[in-house]
């Protein structure tokens, strides 16, 4: 047995209002007056002076507002890297991402591509990155994906949706300030929160489970049940707890894997551009045969929060479009092996996946 040796986020600040310390955290990391800090911020915060006034820009530092209408693309990473190199006199001192999973992944990928040759698509896969990334900081404003702790930066490329998984991917610093999650819409809060819940179910029922993943998974699962099914928490407590659930859910899958919902949801996302959180919910709603208890509780959560999921998203697809989704899903072999076991190919056939997609 060859045990994996994973890096973790090396520094973390937790607390409401902790984002106020961002300038103090960054100051010792400045490499020189021509090495700027680049802030990649979700453009939903454009004009939000509460947030931007907390950032003191000095020398050549700059803020780049990024749209998250679509999930991050490899070409978008390449464009940002080119822009940062062309406009900067020297390599940046650090890249700071402020946003949900999309911005966090973009930030990880940009910081890697600033020190590695070629295109971002060349690094989609496992352990292809050669050089350490630029110092990078993650500031989540939406909780659930676990992108703040994970070893991957998920990108859609010309050929596949797959992460840059490497020892250089995790953040050097994370700032967990639940105040930043205040403005999220109820639907988005639910969908991204369910990403965390689904991470837990897939990790805890998977064949890759071990005590490391189980302990984090159980903590996150209990937090999700408290947040999404109990009425006892104040809004602030719920925001803080979801931030920690996201963290623990992410830690749980670092040492195991996700499963059926993620495999199928990647297919939806690749073909239809369905975003990760809502895509997982659309898929998970039909997975009773794989996750009976998890889906039952999920449906209670849906009902409690009056969330109605889109129906018939695959109703008008052609056979060749189903084939594209099936190819993407089946390509994610470790997810199936975790969910079903080493013999997964016996039961997970193309026909089986097509019949699942047809229900969505
Ligand atoms: P997101 O980052 O795509 O954001 C969703 C929406 O919420 C956007 O419209 C954004 O503008 C808005 N938003 C974010 N913060 C807000 C705030 N405080 N107030 C108001 N609006 C806000 O959503 P997400 O679900 O966090 O991330 C999805 C992405 O994460 C996908 O690209 C997925 O592939 C990736 N992901 C990565 C990992 C990983 O381990 N790296 C794990 C799971 C998912
Ligand atoms: Zn996920």
**What DSSP letter does each residue of 28-86 carry, written as one string?**
GG---TTS-EEEEEEGGGTT-HHHHTT----TT-EEEEE--SS--BHHHHHHHHHHHHH
Encoded tokens for 109? 């990928």
Encoded tokens for 284? 């998970």
Cβ count near 172 (within 10 Å) = 17
11-14 vs 173-176, strand pairing mode:
parallel
pLDDT digits (tens, 9 = 90+) for 339-352: 999 999 999 999 99
β-pair partners for 155: 162
- The per-residue pLDDT for 295 is 98
Question: Exposure string (b/e) for 43-78, b if CB count within 10 Å is 16 or more?
Answer: ebbeeeeebbeebeeeebbebebbebeebbbbebbb
β-pair partners for 66: 42
Residue with tokens 């979801």: 242
Domain assignment of residue 227, yes or no:
yes
Domain CATH code at residue 168: 3.40.50.1970
- The per-residue pLDDT for 23 is 98
Closest ligand to the CA of 150 = 1
Residues of the chain with pLDDT under 70: none
> Distance, CA 102 to ligand 1 centroid (Å)?
5
> Distance, CA 156 to ligand 1 centroid (Å)?
14
Chain mean position to CA 144: 8
**Residue 140 CB–ligand 1 contact under 6 Å:** no
Question: Exposure string (b/e) for 256-287, b if CB count within 10 Å is 16 or more?
Answer: bbbbbbbbbbbbbbbbeebbbbbbbbbbbbbb
- For residue 253, give the ligand 1 atom closest to its CA: 40
Q: Provide the residues around ligand 2 (an ion) whose CB is within 5 A.
A: 195
- The per-residue pLDDT for 225 is 98
* Total tally of structural domains belonging to the chain: 2
Q: Which of 181, 206, 228 is the last residue of a domain?
A: 181
Q: What is the DSSP letter of 256?
A: S
125-126 vs 161-165, strand pairing mode:
parallel
Domain assignment of residue 5, yes or no:
no
Instruction: Look up the domain containing 111 and give its range.
Output: 11-181
- The per-residue pLDDT for 4 is 85
Q: Which of 158, 181, 204 is the last residue of a domain?
A: 181
Q: Which of 156, 181, 206 is the last residue of a domain?
A: 181
> Distance, CA 5 to ligand 2 centroid (Å)?
22
> Distance, CA 47 to ligand 2 centroid (Å)?
29
User: Closest Cα to atom 34, ligand 1: which residue?
Assistant: 154
> In this structure, are 104 and 229 located in the same domain?
no
- The per-residue pLDDT for 3 is 87
C-alpha separations of 192 from 18, 103, 175, 181, 245 in Å: 22, 14, 19, 12, 11
> In this structure, are 221 and 348 located in the same domain?
yes
DSSP characters for 263-317? HHHHHHHHHH---HHHHHHHHHTT-TTT-HHHHHHHHHHHHHTT------TTTT-
Between CA 358 and CA 123 the distance in angstroms is 33
pLDDT digits (tens, 9 = 90+) for 133-156: 999 999 999 999 999 999 999 999
- The per-residue pLDDT for 165 is 95
> Distance, CA 115 to ligand 1 centroid (Å)?
25
**Residue 259 CB–ligand 1 contact under 6 Å:** no
Domain CATH code at residue 321: 1.20.1090.10
- The per-residue pLDDT for 42 is 98
**Residue 195 CB–ligand 1 contact under 6 Å:** yes
- Tell me the pTM: 0.97
**Residue 294 CB–ligand 1 contact under 6 Å:** no
- The per-residue pLDDT for 159 is 84
Q: Mutate which of 100, 126, 275 to test ligand 1's pocket (most atoms within 8 Å of Cβ)? A: 100
- In the chain, the percentage of residues whose pLDDT exceeds 70 is 100
Between CA 357 and CA 315 the distance in angstroms is 9
> In this structure, are 201 and 81 located in the same domain?
no
- The per-residue pLDDT for 2 is 83
ipTM reported for the complex surpasses 0.85: yes
- The per-residue pLDDT for 246 is 98
> In this structure, are 54 and 199 located in the same domain?
no
- The per-residue pLDDT for 161 is 85
């Amino acid at each position: 047995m060859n045990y994996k040796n994973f890096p973790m986020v090396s520094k973390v600040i937790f607390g409401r209002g902790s984002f106020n310390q961002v300038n103090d955290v960054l100051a010792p990391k400045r490499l020189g007056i021509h090495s700027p800090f680049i802030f990649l911020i979700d453009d939903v915060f454009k004009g939000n002076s509460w947030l931007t006034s907390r950032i003191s820009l000095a020398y050549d530092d700059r803020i780049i507002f990024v749209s998250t209408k679509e999930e991050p693309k490899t070409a978008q990473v390449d464009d940002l890297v080119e822009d940062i190199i062309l406009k900067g006199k020297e390599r940046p001192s650090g890249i700071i991402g402020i946003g949900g999973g999309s911005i966090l992944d973009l930030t990880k990928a940009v910081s890697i591509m600033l020190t590695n040759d070629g295109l971002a698509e060349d690094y989609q896969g496992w352990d292809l990155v050669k050089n350490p990334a630029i110092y990078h900081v993650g500031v989540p404003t939406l909780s659930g994906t676990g992108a703040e702790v994970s070893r991957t930066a998920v990108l859609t490329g010309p050929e596949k949706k797959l992460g840059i998984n490497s020892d250089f991917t995790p953040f050097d610093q994370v700032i967990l300030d639940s105040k930043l999650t205040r403005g999220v819409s109820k639907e988005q809060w639910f969908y991204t929160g369910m990403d965390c819940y689904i991470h837990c179910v897939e990790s805890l029922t998977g064949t890759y489970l071990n005590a490391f993943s189980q302990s984090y998974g159980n903590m996150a699962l209990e937090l999700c049940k408290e947040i999404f099914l109990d009425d006892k928490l104040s809004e602030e407590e719920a925001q803080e707890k979801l931030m920690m659930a996201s963290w623990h859910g992410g830690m749980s899958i670092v040492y195991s894997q996700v499963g059926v919902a993620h495999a199928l949801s990647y297919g939806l996302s690749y073909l239809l551009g369905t975003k990760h959180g809502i895509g997982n919910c659309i898929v998970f709603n039909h997975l009773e045969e794989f996750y009976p208890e998890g889906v039952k509780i999920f449906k209670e959560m849906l009902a409690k929060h009056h969330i109605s999921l889109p129906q018939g998203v695959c109703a008008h697809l052609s056979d060749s479009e189903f084939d594209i989704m099936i190819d993407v899903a089946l390509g994610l072999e470790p997810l199936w092996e975790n969910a079903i076991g080493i013999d997964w190919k016996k039961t997970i056939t193309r026909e089986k996946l097509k019949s699942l997609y047809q229900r969505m």
